[in-house]
Structures are given as structure tokens and as C-alpha cells.
Amino acid sequence: MNSKRLWILIVGELSRLNKYGVFSISILVAFIWGVVLFLISDSVLGTFLPFVLFIDATMMSVMYIGAEMHFEKTESTISTMLVTPVSNAEMVLSKVLGNTIHNLISSLLIVAAFYIAGQLDFINELGFSLILVILGIVLSTATFTILGLVLSYYHKDFTDLLVSMFVIIFVLMIPAVLLMFGVIKGDFWETFMLVNPMQAVLEVIQGGFYNAAGELDLDYRYFLSLGYILVGGIVLYFFWAIPKFQDYAVRQSGV
Amino acid sequence: MFKVEDLRYKYPKNPSDVINGISFEIAKGEIFGFLGPSGAGKSTTQKIMIKILEDFRGTISYNGKDIREYGDDFYEDIGVSFEMPIHFSKMTAMENIEFFLKLYKRNADVEKLMRRVGLWEHKDMMVGEFSKGMKIRLNIVRALLNEPHMLFLDEPTNGLDPTNAQILKDMIREFREAGGTVFITSHIMADIDQLCDRVAFIVEGEIKEVDSPRNLKIKYGKRTMTLEYKENGETVREEFPMDGIGQNETFLNLLQTKEIETLHSGETTLEDIFIRVTGVQLRDEQ
């Protein structure tokens, strides 16, 4: 892995996300979420802000990387990347890191808006550990970006990808949301649901926020989820995203 | 420079090989044309040679070393121009070029290249606003960015007007004169004829002919001279064998006594050879 080349690729990814309007869309989405969060009552704010970050880190990550891969497909740029000294691993990693940085910026914009609003007493101040929030967003976004990459290998266009993504995300998200809002309760379900990656992301992001007592509530579920996302992302990256990239790229070059 | 020996390749979903044991060599400083009808195996062969397709059988060596042993540094040495446009359309020409340029150790003089293909004045234009011809010209600049020693060109003049096609052909010749080697596929036989030192015809994954355009024309042409002359206000056409033409009294007599309209050797065209070797009409291909 050539770090200088990787950096060039990441800057290129971020530049294209900007040029192709993906960055503007994510800022707009962040702004809309911000407005929604300002309008909801303070009593649910503590639950809703992690939920917004959770949506950003999962569903939006898949969508943004899917859109980027779609642009590359339509412009055949992957063909010319294949004949540069850039390795497949560098290409895949730059996409994962580029999308993660991009998503982190939009998520942090929401967090910053609420931090400032809390400091100025416009809303109830939300306590959180910035380091843990960033860790949660980065790990979750990276893993779901890898998932989005893998999904885009198997879909011929963006619409196809969106349909699959909505099916997968909603099937996984509904139980997590039901648990989050207390529709499903109990220790058994709270532990069992950790096999659901969406639930694991929710645990990790919620773990960065203080509870009602003003403390971080980092129990075994948090660490289990953290490990699950980390290992899941690594497995997906090394055993799926990288090995299948060459086949995908060759197909894009007209074979 | 490139040596292909008994190359065979089968796509995973195909029941049989699409490349059936082809062998050829490309010498350093040579412009080598690779011709054949659609589906004959041209693109597959090129994709194997540029290491996009793996899992081939046989051997391909570049500068004496098996291409399987090369890492990604192989691409520091070669340039590839694809037939289709391959640029980020919402970035300017220069932004595209600068992005790719940074990926290589060796960098060409971009301004010189862009000026040569007439794109320097349009360097700040979005590639999405370029015409097809401009995109093709930008492809060539992209292929030459790393000052390659070996150039792969897929239909390089397709979509270019005659003036720009001529500029491009001049650039290819200059590249060769500077010591570069070129592998070129094209349907435009006039370009192949003008540019290539040798050509190979591939049909159904097998090479049917490899030789210089001149030798192929001699081989497939008729060894005759055809003379058209005026007699009693009408055009008369006569054909003479090439062998011993200098001693053929009838022929010499006609030259001396008649008003000659045309005089042609039986040399054929590369297009005719393509049709005879491949059994496919070129217009069906285009």
C-alpha cells in the first residue's frame, strides 16, 4: 500500500463527491435533520439525535457510495483506473475512507449545531463524548460503506441498488428501531438483537451519549457491538470487497 | 518487447476457450496492428496483455519477464487508450489530467500534449461538455501522461475528423520514432496500412496471418499488371502477368503506341485482405 497514492485517491474521491453534488446533498440532508431536531420536543431529543446519526452512518453511507459507484459505471472511469499503478486494495480503501470522511463531516455538522444550540440554551444541552461519537460514526460508516460497495458490485444500476438497499436496511432497521423506542423490551431481546448489525450500530452511536444521570453507559453490549462492527467490516473488506473488486472492475471494462 | 506464446483464455461462464493458442511477438519500436471481426478475441487479448484479465494459459512476457511476475508498477511503463471516453465528466479536462498524472512516477509535459491535440484552450472546460472527438483526444493525452514505453490503442482514430486523425497518426509515428512500441486495434484499414509495421489477423480466437501490410498485399494480391488504353474512342482493358513484364512485347508495344488511361498492379488492399482472411465485410463490423 502506497500511502502517498492512497492520499491522492482519497482527495480525488472527496473532490468528486463534491463535484458530483453528493457532498451538497449530504449537507442538505444534515440541514433537514437539524431543522427536524430543533422542532421536536426536548424529551425525545436525547433519543432522536443518535437515531439521526445512525441513519446517516448506515442507510446514507450505502446510498452515497452507491451513487458514486453508479457515476463511475456510467463514465467507465474504472477502466482507466485499472491501468494505473494503483492497486485494487488502494482503490477500495480510498472509497471507504473518502466516504467515511464525507459522512463524518455531515454527521459532525449536526452534532456541532446541537452542541452550539445547547451551549446557547436554545435547547436542552445534550451530553456526549466527542471521541466516542466520532468512533461510532467512523466505524459504522466504514462498515456500511463496504457493504454498499459490495452491493454495488451485484447491481446493474443505481435504482436496482436502491431497491435492494431499502429491503435490506428496513428489514434490519425495523427491529432495531422497535427496540430503541421500547416497543420490544427485555434483556433477552436487547442481547439477542445484537446479531443485527443495525442494532450494533445503534448501540455504538448511543454509547457516545450521556444517560439521564449524565454518565456514559458503556456496558457489555456496547463493547460487543463495537467488536462486531469492527470485525464485520474487516471480514467484509478482506473477504468480499477486495477479492470481488477485480471481477466487478473487469465487467465495467466491457467484458 | 512483448512475446505471446500459446495464449489460451476461457471466460468463466463460457463453455470453451475464446482464445485458442495464439502466438506472436512485438519488437521494440514496432507498431503492431491487431485486426479481426467483433468477437474474434481482439479485446480479450489486449485485456490479457494489459493485465486486466488474469487466469490465462500460455505465457506472455514483457521485456523478457512473465507479465504475471509484474506488480502494479507494470502500469508505470504502459499507456492505454480505450475506445470509449473514460473521464470524469463533471471535472474539467485539466482536473482529470492532473488527477491521473499524480498517480505516476514519470510525468509527461501536459501542456505540450494538450496543445498538440488542440485541447489546451479547452483545458478548463468540463469534460461533459466535450464533443466525442475531444474526449477521444483527451484519451490519448491520458494514455501518454506517464511517458510510457509501450502504448495500447483501441480504435484510436474512431470518431475523429480527418485533421485530428492525422495529428494523432503523426503522434503515434513520433512515439515510435522516439523508441516507443505500439499495439493498435482498429477497423479503419487505411490507418492500419499507414501506421503498422506488421499486422495480425485474429479469427475465432486464432491468428490466421501475421506479416507486414506490404507482404500481405503481395501474398494476397494478383501478380498482374492491368492496362487501360484508348482504341477507336473506347477504353480497352488488358491484364498481363507480372513475371517477365519487361520482356512482354505486347505490353511494351501497347505502352509505346496507345494512349494509356490507367496502369495498375494487382496489389490488393488491406480491407480486401481483411475480408478474405476473416470472411467478414468491414461495413458489417462498423
**With bands split at pLDDT 50, 70 and 90, how would you rate the model's confidence at A177?**
confident
Q: Does B86 touch chain A (CB under 8 A)?
A: yes
For residues A172-180, give the mean pLDDT: 81
Coil/strand/helix, residue B204: coil
Q: B284 pLDDT exceeds 60?
A: no
Count, in order, helices (H) and strands (E) of chain B.
11, 13
CB contact (8 A) between residue B104 and residue A84: yes
For residues B49-76, give the mean pLDDT: 92
User: pLDDT tens digits for A59-113?
Assistant: 889 988 988 888 888 888 888 899 999 999 999 999 999 999 999 998 888 888 7
**Residue whose C-alpha cell is 480504435:** B155
Chain A residue with minimum CA distance to B96:
A12
User: What pLDDT score does B256 carry?
Assistant: 92
Which position has the higher pLDDT, A184 or B32?
B32
User: What pLDDT score does A255 carry?
Assistant: 52
User: What pLDDT score does B5 carry?
Assistant: 95
CA angle B170, A75, A103 (to 5 degrees): 135
Q: Which residues of B touch A249 (CB under 8 A)?
A: 52
**Could you give phi then psi for residue A209, rounded to 5 degrees?**
-100, 145
User: pLDDT tens digits for A189-200?
Assistant: 778 888 888 889
Distance CA A189, CA B98 (A): 54
CB contact (8 A) between residue A87 and residue B72: yes
Q: B285 pLDDT exceeds 70?
A: no
Query: What's the order of all strands across the beta sheet hosting B19-26?
Result: B19-26, B2-9, B57-62, B65-66
CB contact (8 A) between residue A19 and residue B78: no
Minimal CA separation from B118 to chain A, in Å: 22
Residue whose C-alpha is closest to residue A242's, from A153, A169, A142, A137: A153
For residues B201-216, give the mean pLDDT: 91
**With bands split at pLDDT 50, 70 and 90, how would you rate the model's confidence at A28?**
confident
Q: What is the DSSP string of B96-165?
A: HHHHHHTT-SS---HHHHHHHTT-GGGTTSBGGGS-HHHHHHHHHHHHHTT--SEEEEESTTTT--HHHH
Distance CA A146, CA A229 (A): 11
Give chain B's mean pLDDT: 90
For residues A111-118, give the mean pLDDT: 76
Q: B276 pLDDT exceeds 90?
A: no
User: What pLDDT score does A168 carry?
Assistant: 84
Name the residue among A5, A79, A250 with its Cβ closest to that of B86.
A79
User: What pLDDT score does B281 carry?
Assistant: 58
For residues B263-282, give the mean pLDDT: 82
User: What pLDDT score does B112 carry?
Assistant: 93
User: What pLDDT score does A48 carry?
Assistant: 79
Q: Does B101 touch chain A (CB under 8 A)?
A: no
Q: Does B142 touch chain A (CB under 8 A)?
A: yes
Residue whose C-alpha is closest to residue A103's, from A78, A139, A73: A139
Q: B145 pLDDT exceeds 70?
A: yes
User: pLDDT tens digits for A122-139?
Assistant: 666 668 888 999 999 999
Minimal CA separation from A82 to chain B, in Å: 7
Q: Which residues of A touch B47 (CB under 8 A)?
A: 250, 253, 255
Q: In the A/B pair of chains, how many CB contacts fall below 8 A?
A: 74
The complex's ipTM works out to 0.83
Which position has the higher pLDDT, A11 or A164?
A11
Q: Which residues of A touch B100 (CB under 8 A)?
A: 80, 84
| Overall number of domains in chain A | 1
Which position has the higher pLDDT, B142 or A187?
B142
Least trusted range by pLDDT, from A34-38, A100-104, B143-147, B201-205: A34-38
For residues B196-216, give the mean pLDDT: 92
User: What pLDDT score does B29 carry?
Assistant: 93
Residue whose C-alpha is closest to residue A202's, from A214, A213, A184: A184
What is the fold, at CATH topology level, of the domain defined by B2-217? Rossmann fold (3.40.50)
User: pLDDT tens digits for B150-171?
Assistant: 999 988 888 788 888 888 999 9
Chain B residue with minimum CA distance to A255:
B44
Q: Would you call B138 exposed, middle or buried from its count of C-beta atoms within 10 A (0-12, 13-18, 19+)?
A: buried
Q: Which residues of B touch A253 (CB under 8 A)?
A: 47, 52, 82
Domain that residue A51 falls in: 3-252
Residues 35-74 of B with CB under 8 A from A: 43-44, 47, 50, 52-54, 72-74
Q: B129 pLDDT exceeds 60?
A: yes
How far is residue A247 from each of residues A47, A107, A255, B106, measured CA to CA in Å?
A: 42, 33, 10, 29
Q: Which residues of A touch B44 (CB under 8 A)?
A: 255
User: What pLDDT score does B77 carry?
Assistant: 94
Residue type, A96: V
Q: Which residues of B touch A8 (CB under 8 A)?
A: 99, 102-103
User: What pLDDT score does B74 carry?
Assistant: 93
For residues A14-35, give the mean pLDDT: 85
**Could you give phi then psi for residue B4, rounded to 5 degrees?**
-110, 125
Q: Which three cell numbers stand for residue B97?
A: 489530467
User: What pLDDT score does B10 carry?
Assistant: 93
Distance CA A47, CA A43 (A): 8
Print the SS3 string covering chain A.
Answer: CCHHHHHHHHHHHHHHHHHCCHHHHHHHHHHHHHHHHHHCCHHHHHHHHHHHHHHHHHHHHHHHHHHHHHHHHHHCHHHHHHCCCCCHHHHHHHHHHHHHHHHHHHHHHHHHHHHHHHHCCCCCCCCECHHHHHHHHHHHHHHHHHHHHHHHHCCCCHHHHHHHHHHHHHHHHHHHHHHHCCCCCCHHHHHHHHHCHHHHHHHHHHCCEECCCCCECCCHHHHHHHHHHHHHHHHHHHHHHCCCHHHHHHHHCCC
User: pLDDT tens digits for B87-113?
Assistant: 999 999 999 999 999 999 999 999 999
Percent of chain B's residues with pLDDT above 90: 63
User: What pLDDT score does B25 carry?
Assistant: 95
